[in-house]
Homo-oligomer: A and B are copies of this chain.
Amino acid sequence: MIRIGILGYGNLGRGVELGIKQNPDMELVAVFTRRNPESVKTYTNVQVVSVADVEHWKDKIDVMILCSGSATDLPEQGPRYAEMFNTIDSFDTHAKVPEYFANVNAKAIKGNKISIISVGWDPGLFSLNRLYAETILPEGNTYTFWGKGVSQGHSDAIRRIKGVKNAVQYTIPIDKAVEAVRAGKNPEFTTREKHLRECFVVLEDGADSKRVEEEIKTMPNYFSEYDTVVHFITEEELKKNHSGMPHGGFVIRSGNTGKENETKQIIEYSLKLESNPEFTASVLLAYARAAYRLHKKGESGARTVLDIPPAMLSKKNNDELLKTIV
């Protein structure tokens, strides 16, 4: 049995807890939290431990799954726990991946542990597909579209506007753009042409909807480069219709082969997820198996999904894979 620890018990941590029951070779040993452990109620009544005591669990956990955020928690936690445990995380600040990799790698080597970073679907499965597709079709363009799905970052940005009580923001790929890519037209897009942003906003009593809408639509980095639609709704409507966390997206490679590059070849990978955190958790668990095996082989250091032989994720042995998968 692979003994799993969960560090951080939010949506992602809960997803990992639920996912473990689908993997009969894994058992959940403990959840680690910065909150008062007694205040944390888990689905499975597994032991909840203060993160202050985590060092005492070094020999009781094979793989620690770090379920914290990328903005401030992981840059500090990733390297720290990489020295103590084999770790998996979903670090998703693309621009900072090289720096984060270097920091985690140094500590994982020092601790003689394996850390697989930036696991999930983007980065993660989408990274894999970008790599396979551009390597197989060297002449061509790769397009990544996200959605339709809830962006926590954009929802939070709206919630920080004065007069906003609550908000949910959907990122929506624009059909016309996706179709042009699928048709092999190799188009060039502005930001506005690829994705639309749709916002469902609950106002505080007496707030000025015109001003809030204007503030959303002109917010730099988040909304100003996009076409943005704003709907004002009640808190009840928000809870009833927008409390899920769906997401998904597409990676499409449009390439060319042949004597004069005249032959169109399209590779498309897509996800349609009813729950983003539950799906991300499922990916983390598959890579936890790989981390466990790499550590058993005596390897150490940081890895990304690009470094892991696919067979190492599977419960099946080589004979079963040859018979049922190849």
Task: Give residues in A with beta carbon < 8 Å to B.
Answer: 15, 18-19, 22-23, 43, 94, 97-98, 101, 118, 123, 125, 127-132, 134-139, 182, 255, 257-259, 263-275, 278-279, 281-283, 286, 304-311, 313-315, 319, 321-323, 325-326
Contact = CB atoms under 8 A, between A and B. Distances in A.
Given A278-B257, A278-B258, A322-B101, A309 B311 contact: no
Contact of A97 (B257, B263, B322): B322
Contacts of A314: 131, 134-135, 306
A309 B116 CA distance: 14
A138 to B, nearest CB: 4
Contact of A137 (B182, B282, B319): B282
B326 A94 contact: yes
Contacts of A264: 272, 274
Contact of A269 (B131, B257, B269): B269
Given A135-B315, A136-B283, A257-B278, 19 more contacts: A18-B258, A22-B138, A22-B139, A97-B322, A98-B319, A98-B322, A128-B310, A258-B275, A265-B278, A266-B273, A268-B268, A268-B269, A268-B270, A268-B272, A305-B326, A306-B310, A306-B325, A306-B326, A308-B309
Q: Which 9 A-B pairs have the closest CB atoms?
A: A257-B278, A306-B311, A266-B272, A22-B138, A98-B322, A263-B275, A135-B313, A263-B274, A127-B326
Contact of A182 (B22, B268, B272, B321): B272
How many chain copies?
2
Contacts of A321: 131, 304, 306
7 contacts: A18-B258, A22-B139, A125-B132, A264-B274, A268-B272, A304-B321, A307-B311
Contacts of A123: 326
Nearest to A140: B22
Nearest to A17: B259
Nearest to A123: B326
